[in-house]
Structures are given as C-alpha cells and as structure tokens.
Structure 1
C-alpha cells in the first residue's frame, strides 16, 4: 500500500473495478501521513483567538513594478499578482507546516484509487461566489479547460496529464489522469483557483482587462487605482469563515497594496508611515535605508523571518534560441565574467551566498560525485550524458577575487571564447569566422539591477563582447520576455517544496517553443525531460530527492544560466502594529501573513505619540 493513503475504504464506482481500494479523505499528502486528522479545529500555527479588524498596508508583492490588468491567468498584460492571492478559493488549501499536505476548502473530501488513475472531489454545498451564486462542479470544469486552452502556458504544462474532467453532479467533479501522472498532480489540481463560469459570459477569459474580478474567497477587490493602488476588503458574508483551515486566518478587514516604480520613493513612503509592511529585496536598503526617525525611535522594526521553502533559482538566464549561445563554451565564458564575490562584498553588504543549484537549500541539491541511487539512475542515460557527469563533482561557479575585474576568470573566459571561434580583432571586438561581431541583448525593467549588472556587462565588454544592458518599461519587457526577444534575462524561479509537473514549464521540451512560457533558455533535452518525468512519478521523499539531484546535476552541467545569489530568510520591515504567531509555519512566508493580525493597542500607542495618523 502506498504510504500516502490516509484512509482506504472499499468503494464501487462505474469507472473502476468493484471492491477496488479507494482513498476517501479530508486531506491529501503527496508522501506520508497527514499531520491533521479529520476533526482538527485549526492549524497549529494559527491563533484562533486573533483579534479581527484593521488593515495590512504594504508594498506590492514580489517586487513587481506596475500592473495594467486584473486577469491573473493569461500571458497578456502586466497582471496584479495580488488578485490570485486574495480573491479565489481552491478545492483544497496547503498547510504551511507540512511540505506537501492539503486540506479541504471548497472540497469537503477527496477520493482516489491506489493507481491514481483519477481523482474526485466532493464539494461543499455552502460554497458561494461573492454574488451569491453557488460554486459548482461545472465551475471547476470550466476553470481547468479555460486555463489549459487559453491560460498561461504554465497551466498547459502542469495539467497536461489530465485526460478529462467531468462534473458528475453539481457537487462532484472527477479528473481522469494519464498513467504515471504522479502523485503531485493531485495536489496541483486541488490548488486550482475555482473561477466563476458565469462571470466569463460577458468578460473574455483570454483578454487583458480591468473589470473587477468575481471570486469566492475571504476578500473582494474594493478599490483599484491603476497602476498605484489595490485594496481588498473582507466579503461581508464569506461562506468559509469558520472552516478549520480558516480559523485564525484572514484576520484583517482589508489588505492594501501600494505600487512604486521607484523603490527609493517606496522606502521613503514607508518611512513616512504611508504603508506599514514591506519585504525588502535590496540588501543596500536593508543595510542602510532604515536609519530614519521612526526606526530609530523603535516604531519600525526589521525582522529576518526564516523560510523552509527552496531558495530561488536566481540568476542570469541564457537564451539558447540565439545560435551564439548554443555553444556551451560561450555560456561558460559568460559565467566566468560574473564576479559574485566582489558584488556581494561591495554592493550586497555581504548579505548573500552564491547560488549554484536549481534546488537551492534543499536535499534535492546535487553535490560532489554521483553515488548510490543517483548514480544508478544516471547510468541509465550514460550514453546521452557528457563523461564529466560521472567523473567530476556537480558544477559550482568560479570563486573570484575582491576586484570587479578578476583577471584570472576573464582570462579563462577568453580562452573559452577563442576555442568557440570567437576571436578578438584589432578593434577589440570578438568576431566569428564570418566576421560577425558577438552581440548580446540584455533588457530588464528594474532600475535596482543596474548597480549589479553594469559591472558585469563591463566585464563582458572587456572580453570583446558587444552587450547592451537596457532598462525598459515593464510593459515592453513583458512583451519581449513572452516572445523570447532577449539574449540574457535576470530572473528568479522558486520551485515547490515538493516539485512536480511545474518543472516541465521551466525546463521541459514542450515549453521550449511555447510563447510566454517559463522555459526562458529554450532548453529541450531528452534526458532532462526523462528526469523531470521521474520526479513527477516519485513515490517517496527519498526517491524524489534522488531524482531531483540527478536532474539538478544534469541541468547544471549544461550551463544554461549564470548562477546568482541567495538568502535563506525574508527581510521584513514593519511598523510595530501587528501581531505575529510566536511560531510561524516554516513554509510559504507570503501565505503566513494571512495569519497575522492588527494589534489595536500598539497602533493606538503610536498614534498617541504622533508617529502614525489615526484612521486604521
């Protein structure tokens, strides 16, 4: 019996043999038993007595610069990510203190056979959209079909193994799954945001728009001032307020988001009390930017909040759709040109460590030589892999000196470029045998990257490469990224604690030519594809770690990026007016903010001292 089966009962259905073992459960875990039983009252990290009220006002999520769309599910436009965070309930919701467990929200129970050939969700009859219409199985069917046909390519890859979805009744929806679809797919389906089919009778799903979306979650969108402000306030009659997964959650009356294209202005606004919480993405601001009166007086505090989720795969991604970058020696040379050590010391105030893995800070990160089960797995592909996979440790980037221009590293980069046929001419420009100069285009929309990337591009120019680093407006950058109209892109991906089908969207061949996909490098490799599928069908945490390490090792050997930098916590600054659980859950920091609360006494004390204006 598979270890994830929490409750196995004899069950008879038309589509499966009589007396087949079927799990019927209040929750689902990809591997192992569930922490919380069917009678749990709230998550351990929730405060069931948390006060209600107040507003959590913060800077925009994830450092986005702007938004011009409220449709969060397509590739068109710059959508506001906060919409998908607050508006839509899903069939099940993750527990932030378990790596891969979900518990029923819209769905009261989940059913699936041991062979995972299908999964069925039994939905709560009380579930309602904000307009009072019931959430039905037909809405779930609509959601999956719309996402797979007209949604972002990420959804097409993630749900490629769903063969069919059917509303068996108004409150029972069944997904038929391909063989070897993997246990992680059930969790991905359970997390689907359920969209209201009737809303899209008049609003086109595939278009970018600014209509107020209709959801079923605890909050509704109450104010939009594009591209500056979004406000979400509690729905007055939220149907799921008292479910165990929501006890101690959704404590604020409102969430308010302030967008700043210039983060220096954003920090000044925070210092003035115009908003009250910000996640700090710039190490220089964290080190030097909080020396303002409110911080010195103790009204504002800086916190380092650990996060057990995998570190971001942050770096400069190399678009191999450009023939110049198809030569691995060229890609290796671009890696040698980045001096992380000088950058970290001079620009980052020593805050980071170097990223070297696509599964950073996890047991899925490859190291040393392959051995044991990982070696046995790689042996299956030996004739398709370079020999150094078996004879050399997993690739780690070069360690440079404390000057911006590391001569030894640049000399090695030059040798690699020479060997690739790109030779420096009398004019100092590298050209190939046809006399064509090496030209690389490096667009971005973040002014904050200039101080990091200009020294890097200066090193590339010293090598004879004609590289243009250009800051463009966010909308233009979105369009170019979707069309893969770039050579280098500074981007960060973060995989799930238990990665699964989403890996296809980042590194799978099917995503390589899909416009707008997350496969920025255009990698299309049969061994990578095969290892991704092995990750998807892994039946234990040990097997997942082993297979992911093999995938990590192979990806790193291909030099598809210049590895960037990582940090193992979140830098959070707050005006001291919030209550935070004493033992926050280890996973998903942004979802954990749902369990904070407004502390009226602290707030009134700051108002009395003149530090904040009254009004919350």
Structure 2
C-alpha cells in the first residue's frame, strides 16, 4: 500500500490565502501554533496522525553510527556527540508535527499565546513536567536555557538570542519572550529550544564540561551507560512524565536503544547482515536493489521498507570553500561543475537509479522555475542586479555530460573558463600568472565509499585539466573539527530543507556568520542578494510572495555555483528486523529520527 503522504498538506494549502492569518483582536491561548494559518489538529486531538496510540511498549533495539564521539552534550560547540541524543533525551516547550509544513503542539508547555503581530510569545508550562531525575521543569529552567544556549551553546542556538528583547516570568508557570524585530517565525523557533536543568550547571562550565557530565533532560530516554567511542545505551524512563500527553501517545515505544559505533559504513553494514543491528538506513538505490538479498532478507527476518515523502530535495554534494582562491571566482566553480561528470558517476555508484538534485528546493513548489525570472521573482531580484551571479536572472541549469567517461565537450568548456579566469597549463600543470599551482584538498570522512568512488572518477577529469587534487579521508571527529575550522577546499555537504524554510536559512547561507568557525555556511556565501531575499522570505505577507521569495533565493544560490550537487534522496529506505513495526500513516516529511524509531514499536 502506498499512503497518500500529501494528504495532510493538501488540507493546509487549500485553506491558505495568506501565509499569515489576519490578526485577531486579542491574543488567546492555544494548544498549538502554525506558521501558516491554523493548526490542522483540534485541541482535543488524541495523538499525532502518523503515530499509533495503541502501540505496545517494550523491546530492545541496536542502531549503528560510524566514527566515534568524545562528548555526550549535543548542545555545545565543543566535541562530537551522538547525533540522536538531542532528539531522544531532551525536550522543548512545543513539539513539531511532521505531518504539516510547520506546526507546533504543546509538549513541556500546555499552551501558547502570541501578540497579534507575534512580537511576543508566551508559554505556560505543564504542572507535571519533570526532568528525568524527578525535579520539576520550572520557568527558571526555561529562562536559563534560553540565555545559556544563546550565549554559550552551539551556533545553531545563538541566532535566536540576538533577536530577543526580553524574557520574563509572567505567572507561576508562564514565561514570555519578547522579540526586537518583526519576524513572525520567531515565536515558533522559541518553542523549539531544548530546555535543560539550571541547577545541574550551577558552578560548572557548561561549554567545556567533560564527557562524563551528561546534561539532564526531560525526554523519554536517558543515558543509562556508555563506553567512550564504542557505544551509548539509552533507557526509556519508566517514570517519564509525558507518556500520556497527546503529542507523545504512540511515540517513544522502545524500552532500550543502544547505539554501537563502527569505523566505517562497510563494517556497519556487515554487522547488520550478521544480526548485530536492528535497523539501518540505506541512501544508495543501487546498493538497496543489489546488496540487500542476504539470507536474513530471504528468510523474512529482515524487512525492506520504502518511505516516500513530499519535502524539497535540499542540497547534497561537494561544497567549495569560496573564502579563498581559486573558488572565489564563479568561473572556476562553473569549471569544477563541468568537470564533474555526474551522469557517468551516478551510473557507476547508484546504477543511475537516483535523480540529480537540480536546485536547493527542487522537487517542491518552492523550487526555482526554468528559464528567465519573471513576475514577482524578477521584481525581488531586480534590486540586486549588480550582485547576482550569471544566470540568476537569465536562467541557469546545471551542466549535463554526454554520459561517457571522457566527457570531452564539458572538459573543453571547463578549460575555456579556467583560461578566462587566468589559469593556464604550464608544463602539464594548471597555474595562474604568478606561477601558483591549481592544487586543492578534498576532505572526506572515513567510510564514505561513495564519496571516495566519486572522487576517484573526478580526479581523473581534473588531472586532464592540469589540476592537482589531494583526497584526505579522516575520522568523524577530525572531519567535524576541520569543517568547523573551515579547513578544506572541497568537502562533502548536506543541508536538508523543509516545506517551510525560515530563519535557519541565515545559518545556512547568511553572511553574518560566513567567516565564523563552526558556521553552517560552509561555502562562505556573503551575498547582499542572499541576505535580502532571506529577509523578503521572512517578511512575506502572502503565500504567493513567500513562494516567490523562496524561488528567487533558490535561483541565486543555485546560480552561485557553490556546491557540486549529486543525487536526490527521493525516498527513504529502511531495512529492519521483522519485529520492528510501523504505523499505517506516513507524515509528509517521510523518514527521519522523528519517524523511525520515534513512532515505531517492537513486537515479537
């Protein structure tokens, strides 16, 4: 059965005549808050539509991560922690439904209230909300968490703090956050900040705490045991405070979750085949079709499940560091795109089974349209004419190869562009007028066999252009560290994007943090057009204007030639033990940590 995974969003879109509903005369408390219109679920909803409220509790599962970890604090910039922790051990005031573009429902907070213009938002805590040690979640904890994460936490949390004019307690269980700029999304972003326990950190260095000092959360799971770099064991809290609230019914059903760490993906896959792991996600369609026929699959002990979705493609590929030569020149970046023989590489790695990403929001209504910019999109681009990369107004499409290994026509075009940019072949080596070699380092993570294969093919093409290329494969900690330090020329890159893009766009490609270590803007985009279009997107007063602003942004980013895109993950693929069960309904966002294992259950 193929579920109608766009069913929920159709209802939302059909009712949208404006991105924001007309302001009501007085603010009122509500059970949820939507970026567009009203929440789809009524105040008396029983559970999320993609959860099974009758799902049984119990069972132990084992998942695998590649690399290692040196921190169990996912909220600070320092160190590498298991990515799952912030999803399973901690909670925010509101929780996101992945069956709607961007809607939040009460989690730690029982209700939310905003000003008509959303210049402030007020949350009222549930009286029974508790941390895993049994202590209540208080307004003091909320205020401390916002300030601490905003000043000492990971960069992903700091942007909001700069936009907060004040945060105060207005009732015994109520906190109000007032903003210093007009941005209606801020009320939702505030609802998604993780809440930590203030008392735990009194007199301690939050940003530099040692491995054994694990943040106490209010989530369904807590860290039960661990061995540094080898495993982390999470146990479901038998006294979890929120087991019966609507947002949590039918979720977090597994008793024990163990995360084992492996040196690379190949070893992890062999462990899964041997029955040491309960489930894996597969991102390669060809491998899914050809290598998942081992005995456990044939016996029916392992099930292959495909999970469709309706979200944008996002951007996956190899990002170029534009902060320094040679990638500060768009002609060089276009030459790199021309030399990347996607059709041949895709056929080699995925069997040609996965479509190429064509822009950041491709596959959705938010994606740029082919041909010259027209209508409102052209109007939004016009003020930045002098700042736009070639093709943004006229129309731009990624280079297409001829499918052969040599890719001669595109190599000739690449050579011409490099010559125009001042790079010529001298004694078989590409050099500029100062005699400097065109030499780049590609940074990959150990175990990235697909990236390694792609680079082996790409290297041969670049060598034909006289480019020297050095591919470095490092462990996960080094990979994260060097990305944070911006120590790369070319590196693997992934940014997932939603049906409701917002302030996170500033983190991904805004100029404010372009040169800050730890930035999410790995390519180093510093463009007035990009900044202005993000502002226009956030200030949109109609659905049509919002779509136009996003399409315009998509044009500028794609024509900027910052990333060499690869294939789109057009469907989620999960191979799992037969005992792992899933609900019949799927969210529009498809698979993710909020879906598997969050709403799955174990049943003998």
Give the TM bin, normalised by the shorter chain.
Answer: over 0.9
Corresponding residue number in structure 2 for 1:597:
601
- For residues 371-393 of structure 1, the C-alpha deviation after alignment (integer angstroms, 9 at most, x for no partner) is 22212222233344357433x22
CA-based RMSD of the aligned residues comes to 1.9
- Among residues 6, 29, 36, which one is paired with 1:24 in the alignment? 29
Contact 2:530 2:556 in 1 (8 A): yes
Structural mapping, 1:305-454, within 5 Å: 305-368=307-370, 369-385=372-388, 388-390=391-393, 392-393=394-395, 395-426=396-427, 428-447=428-447, 448=449, 449-454=451-456
Corresponding residue number in structure 2 for 1:262:
264
- For residues 511-531 of structure 1, the C-alpha deviation after alignment (integer angstroms, 9 at most, x for no partner) is 111111111111111111011
Corresponding residue number in structure 2 for 1:489:
491
Instruction: Give the drift of 1:5.
Output: 5.4
- Measure, in 2, the Cα distance between the counterparts of 1:5 and 1:126: 33
Structural mapping, 1:166-181, within 5 Å: 166-181=168-183
Instruction: Give the drift of 1:401.
Output: 2.2
Instruction: Give the drift of 1:221.
Output: 1.1
Corresponding residue number in structure 1 for 2:190:
189
SS of the residue aligned with 1:571? strand
Contact 1:90 1:190 in 2 (8 A): yes
Q: Select between 242-251 and 290-299 the one with higher mean Cα deviation.
A: 290-299
Instruction: Give the drift of 1:402.
Output: 2.4
Contact 1:444 1:471 in 2 (8 A): yes
Corresponding residue number in structure 1 for 2:206:
205
Corresponding residue number in structure 2 for 1:38:
43
- Measure, in 2, the Cα distance between the counterparts of 1:266 and 1:332: 36
SS of the residue aligned with 1:512? coil
- Measure, in 1, the Cα distance between the counterparts of 2:506 and 2:159: 6
- For residues 72-120 of structure 1, the C-alpha deviation after alignment (integer angstroms, 9 at most, x for no partner) is 1222211111110111111011112111111001111111111221111
Q: Select between 71-80 and 413-422 the one with higher mean Cα deviation.
A: 71-80
- Measure, in 2, the Cα distance between the counterparts of 1:146 and 1:366: 38
- For residues 442-476 of structure 1, the C-alpha deviation after alignment (integer angstroms, 9 at most, x for no partner) is 11213322111121122112211111111122222
- Measure, in 2, the Cα distance between the counterparts of 1:446 and 1:190: 37
Q: Select between 471-480 and 518-527 the one with higher mean Cα deviation.
A: 471-480
Runs of 4+ that moved beyond 4 A: 1-8
- Measure, in 1, the Cα distance between the counterparts of 2:406 and 2:80: 37
Instruction: Give the drift of 1:245.
Output: 0.7
- For residues 327-381 of structure 1, the C-alpha deviation after alignment (integer angstroms, 9 at most, x for no partner) is 1111111111111111111221222111121123221110222222212222233
- Measure, in 2, the Cα distance between the counterparts of 1:207 and 1:133: 24
- Measure, in 1, the Cα distance between the counterparts of 2:112 and 2:151: 25
- Measure, in 1, the Cα distance between the counterparts of 2:38 and 2:544: 15
When residues 446 and 311 of structure 1 are mapped into structure 2, their CA distance, relative to the original with a 3 A threshold, is: farther
Instruction: Give the drift of 1:396.
Output: 1.9
Mapped pair 1:54 → 2:59: yes
- Measure, in 2, the Cα distance between the counterparts of 1:461 and 1:383: 34
- Measure, in 1, the Cα distance between the counterparts of 2:42 and 2:100: 13
- Measure, in 1, the Cα distance between the counterparts of 2:462 and 2:583: 48
- For residues 404-439 of structure 1, the C-alpha deviation after alignment (integer angstroms, 9 at most, x for no partner) is 33111111111100111100012x111111111111
SS of the residue aligned with 1:24? coil
When residues 247 and 386 of structure 1 are mapped into structure 2, their CA distance, relative to the original with a 3 A threshold, is: closer
Contact 1:503 1:532 in 2 (8 A): yes
- Measure, in 1, the Cα distance between the counterparts of 2:422 and 2:504: 37
Instruction: Give the drift of 1:541.
Output: 3.5
Corresponding residue number in structure 1 for 2:4:
none
SS of the residue aligned with 1:376? helix
Contact 1:5 1:23 in 2 (8 A): no
- Measure, in 1, the Cα distance between the counterparts of 2:353 and 2:230: 30
Corresponding residue number in structure 2 for 1:230:
232
- Measure, in 2, the Cα distance between the counterparts of 1:2 and 1:547: 14
Instruction: Give the drift of 1:313.
Output: 0.6
- Measure, in 2, the Cα distance between the counterparts of 1:43 and 1:221: 26
Corresponding residue number in structure 1 for 2:537:
535
Corresponding residue number in structure 2 for 1:559:
561
Contact 2:424 2:430 in 1 (8 A): yes
- Among residues 108, 119, 124, which one is paired with 1:106 in the alignment? 108
Corresponding residue number in structure 2 for 1:605:
none
- Measure, in 2, the Cα distance between the counterparts of 1:264 and 1:283: 16
Please list every run of 5 or more consecutive structure 2 residues that lacks an aligned counterpart in the other structure.
1-16
Aligned length: 582
- Measure, in 2, the Cα distance between the counterparts of 1:349 and 1:387: 33
